[in-house]
A and B are shown apart, each in its own frame.
Chain A
Amino acid sequence: GENVEQHPSTLSVQEGDSAVIKCTYSDSASNYFPWYKQELGKGPQLIIDIRSNVGEKKDQRIAVTLNKTAKHFSLHITETQPEDSAVYFCAASDGGFKTIFGAGTRLFVKA
């Protein structure tokens, strides 16, 4: 079946450094790729998304890139801050009802 692989499972960076999380999807029909951030004790919340007709999207310190040929997409966080510490999930959807989530990356930003 369809799946989304996410790496790394844990990432530790120094405050101010960049963090990169990578995902690979299997369903070539996927056309919507959201990223969710889950803080402790809360549900996941969308932080950025990208659709298949776009190769890159940026929102302040966060950027996402998509390579449809290779079925890869990545999240880039620059100038990391302690409040960026959380679990991040990538996901892929074919526009239908089902969204396939990656296993998650726990990001630690050390002050």
Chain B
Amino acid sequence: DVKVTQSSRYLVKRTGEKVFLECVQDMDHENMFWYRQDPGLGLRLIYFSYDVKMKEKGDIPEGYSVSREKKERFSLILESASTNQTSMYLCASSLMTSGTGNEQFFGPGTRLTVL
């Protein structure tokens, strides 16, 4: 069974802390994505990666960075957490696109609270 796993289901951090969210997929997918999910706003893309060491900004990259050192792992980093980054964070992966979209496989999400 295909799987995307995220390192934590729930996380509570203090303002100003550096936060690492880890995501691992076992499907050998080229593409990996980080979204944040907020009520009434749907899923908004923070960053994505289409290959090892490659990254591209999504719609809301401010305050975030990412790292992809291995194909199966994609990390989201909050350099200095702020209260407005309290949210549900979803990781996803998909096969390489070739002009037409592909299904994205999502992890269970990490609910981050910044106090």
Identify the A interface with B (CB < 8 A): 1, 4, 6, 9, 31-32, 34, 36, 41-46, 49, 51, 89, 93-99, 101-104
Collect the chain B residues with CB atoms within 8 Å of residue A97's CB: 31, 48, 50, 56, 97
Collect the chain A residues with CB atoms within 8 Å of residue B48's CB: 97-98
Collect the chain A residues with CB atoms within 8 Å of residue B101's CB: 31-32, 34, 49, 93-95, 99
Give the nearest-CB partner of B9 in chain A.
A41
CA of A32 to CA of B99 in the docked complex: distance in angstroms? 10
Q: Indicate with 1 or 0, residue by residue over B87-115, a CB within 8 angstroms of chain A CB atoms.
A: 00010100001111111101111000000
Number of chain B residues whose Cβ lies closer than 8 Å to a Cβ of chain A: 27
Collect the chain B residues with CB atoms within 8 Å of residue A9's CB: 40
Contact of A98 among B58, B90, B109 (CB under 8 A): B58
A32 touches B100 (CB 8 A): yes
